[in-house]
Amino acid sequence: MAQDEKARVGVTMKVLVTIWKNDVAPRFDLASEVLIAFLDDEGNISSKKTLVLPTVSADELCHLIISENIDEVICGGIENEYFEYLNWKKIKVIDSVIGPYEKALELAGRGELKEGVVFFRNG
């Protein structure tokens, strides 16, 4: 176990979230904006960037995910063929997430985000 802990020190995870305004985008294939966050070994965001995609395309989004070496994708609805493709490429997909993307990212950093979660806004 100490070996595993040693290997994780300083390792970051790269997470991509499909976004629409302040929420996780409802559909992967219609996302026009994404957030890429680097999480440190404690799950804190060490840096992040937002990208506006030139076109709305699930194929191009998958290409971006692969070329950016993303470890985990957080999204709303996703067609099975893209879900399976990303899993085949060893990329974890947490889908059917509804609500503020910052809350989803926070839970992902703690390893607590599950597929199908719905976040409600206060008030």
What are the tens digits of pLDDT across the range 105-116?
999 999 999 999
Dihedral sign, CA of 32, 93, 41, 21?
A: positive
Structural domain count of the chain: 1
pLDDT over 70 at 50, yes or no: yes
At residue 122, the pLDDT reads 64
What's 68's domain CATH number? 3.30.420.130
Q: For residue 117, tell me if it sits in a domain.
A: no
Contact of 109 with 90, CB cutoff 8 Å: no
Label residue 15 by pLDDT band (50, 70, 90): very high
Q: For residue 98, tell me if it sits in a domain.
A: yes
Domain hosting 18: range is 12-109
